[in-house]
Structure 1
Amino acid sequence: MQVMDTIKSTEGKHLEVLIGLASQICNVQGIQLDIHDREAIVDKMVGALKGNMIPNPEYPRMRRVTIEMAISITKLCSSYATILREKGMIDLMSKIERLPPSKVEKYRIFFGNVGVVSESGVPLPDLVANAKHLIDPAPGPQPGGHA
């Protein structure tokens, strides 16, 4: 799928938009990727979360769309859960849970003098909890981790 291929080589605002689009496509029609592409997409998602632990005003929804994408792909194909766990997504989401809510993420910023509109939808902490449960339904000591 072209959207998934483009995600692998995109950064910034375009990446935020494409991850959000891919998440919605997964919810509607599903996609099939080979294992190499799955790992590349997850690597990109992990990199997006690592690079946006503190949200960037230029692409404030990056964390939200990345977590929504993790939910979508895990529901689509359970093998993504293993890849997401192996690549450290649970640890990253746990760090996001511990951070205070960001004002940047709570609003949709419009161009010009239009202003802002309060963000609606599932709160980010609830999305994180849902994603973590899908990726690791029986959390316990992780390999190499400490209990």
Structure 2
Amino acid sequence: MEDEYELLEATIGLGVQICKFTSIEEYTEILGDFSYSLDDVAKKLLKILKENNAPNNKFPCLRRYAIELAIWMMESNAPSISDFKSGNLKNVLTMVAETTSDLENFHFFSGDVGVAKHPQTISSLVLKAKRLLA
């Protein structure tokens, strides 16, 4: 399970970076090439956030990346908002906010010690996602 989460963290993190330079239409087309839909991605992101109800030192950016991708999807495609609402993302985000670790605010590490911080805290990402859901 640990290997799966490490791979998910890397994959979602890369996806977030790619999405900064692509449109929702291109993203949907790429997903279609692999027989996935935006709805599938939304469900997977919700599942990841629900299963990881606390930060983990082995994959400290997993929840952050899941929230960042959810935000991009909601900002880029209004139907994604309803997918996240029906999946109860607001309650999941509340749980993330209650269990946030300072470790989740770093993107470079030396062992278990954070070296370089993300420009936005995970708390600010949670607030942004909640506003998009409102």
TM-score normalized with structure 1 length: 0.73
Quick one: distance in 1 between partners of 2:19 and 2:114? 29
Aligned to 1:68: 68
Q: Which amino acid aligns with 1:57?
A: N
Quick one: distance in 1 between partners of 2:105 and 2:73? 24
CA 1:127 to 1:115, structure 2 compared with 1: closer, same or farther past 3 Å? Answer: closer
Aligned to 2:44: 44
Aligned to 2:115: 117
* Maintained 8 Å contact 2:105/2:120: no
**Unaligned residue ranges in structure 1 (runs of 5+):** 1-9, 138-147
Q: Give the fraction of aligned pairs with identical amino acids, expressed as a percent.
A: 25
State the 4+ residue runs in structure 1 displaced beyond 3 angstroms.
Answer: none
Higher helix proportion, which one?
2
CA 1:133 to 1:116, structure 2 compared with 1: closer, same or farther past 3 Å? Answer: closer
Q: Which amino acid aligns with 1:123?
A: T
Q: Secondary structure at the match of 1:60?
A: coil
What does residue range 1-147 of structure 1 map to in structure 2 within 5 Å?
11-30=4-23, 31-32=27-28, 37-99=37-99, 101-107=100-106, 108-110=108-110, 116-134=114-132, 136-137=133-134
CA 1:65 to 1:82, structure 2 compared with 1: closer, same or farther past 3 Å? Answer: same
Give the CA deviation at 1:49.
0.7
Cα RMSD between the aligned structures?
Answer: 2.2
Deviation per residue, 1:125-145 (Å, 9 max, x gap): 1111101111x23xxxxxxxx
Quick one: distance in 2 between partners of 1:41 and 1:115? 31
Q: Secondary structure at the match of 2:20?
A: helix
Quick one: distance in 1 between partners of 2:130 and 2:56? 23
**Unaligned residue ranges in structure 2 (runs of 5+):** none
Q: Rg larger in 1 or in 2?
A: 1
**Equivalenced residues, count:** 123
Q: Secondary structure at the match of 2:37?
A: helix
Q: Which amino acid aligns with 2:59?
A: Y
* Maintained 8 Å contact 1:26/1:76: no
Quick one: distance in 1 between partners of 2:20 and 2:68? 10
